[in-house]
Homo-oligomer: A and B are copies of this chain.
Amino acid sequence: MASRTYDRDSVEFARTLSFTDGLFAIAITLLVIDLAVPVLHHDSSIHELADRLNDEKEKFISFFISFAVIGRYWIAHHTFFSQLARMDRPLIALNLLYLAFIAFLPFPTALLGEYFANPLSVVIYAVTVAIVSGMEVVLFSRAQNHGLLEKKLPRDVYRYGAAMSLAPVIFFILSIPVAFVSTPLAVCCWFLGIPLSAIAERWKPEGADELLRG
């Protein structure tokens, strides 16, 4: 028995998106809460304030990394949902599970901001992000296989799209052993996806652009 579906123009479709967008907006804005105002001995000392902020520079780096990470997921979510013709209840439940890890992200971000040199911080961050990317593929596969997309993708385009979603997982998992050698190097691994996607363009099946990128 098929589960009831909610069409693109239904109030329910809109609600799921507005809940999702709200959660994304809050998770991304809560990142700022970790940027604590330092305690100074001399309130008007430029030098001391500059030193204290410099001591916290990993927190600023973490803020902007996590903003970029959450922002990138929001854009990916946006692109993915723009291709949906309808949602069903299992997709809504899976989306909620995906959002649990988005909502959780400010914690690993704070951990990384505080203990940037600790390999375990990097591992926890990488595992969380890998789970989010993994859930992205689960959502994509549910939509493809249960007729929720506006048009079902050809097999090669679907495989290519799933591979592109999984690519970050690989880089995040690869960064885990690297973290035990050097944590900044591990963080750099996370950005390897950017040149890779440029290279991956070569294997892109015909028509994928139009079908996937929304």
Which residues on A are within 8 Å of B, measured CB to CB? 4, 6, 8, 10-19, 21-35, 37, 40, 43-46, 49-50, 53, 63-64, 67, 71, 74-75, 78, 81-82, 89, 92-93, 96, 99-100, 103-104, 106-107, 110-111, 113-115, 117-121, 213-214
Tell me if B18 and A18 are in contact (CB < 8 A): yes
- Kindly list chain B residues whose C-beta atoms are within 8 Å of the C-beta of A46: 118-120
CB A73 to nearest CB in B, in angstroms, measures 11
Q: How many angstroms from the CA of A79 to the CA of B104 in the assembled complex?
A: 25
CB A14 to nearest CB in B, in angstroms, measures 8
Q: How many angstroms from the CA of A113 to the CA of B107 in the assembled complex?
A: 15
Further 14 A-B residue pairs, CB within 8 A, beyond A18-B22, A32-B104, A43-B118 = A19-B74, A21-B22, A22-B22, A23-B29, A26-B26, A26-B29, A28-B103, A30-B32, A32-B107, A44-B115, A44-B117, A67-B100, A75-B92, A89-B213
CB closest residue in chain B, given A50: B120
CB A150 to nearest CB in B, in angstroms, measures 12
Tell me if A11 and B82 are in contact (CB < 8 A): yes
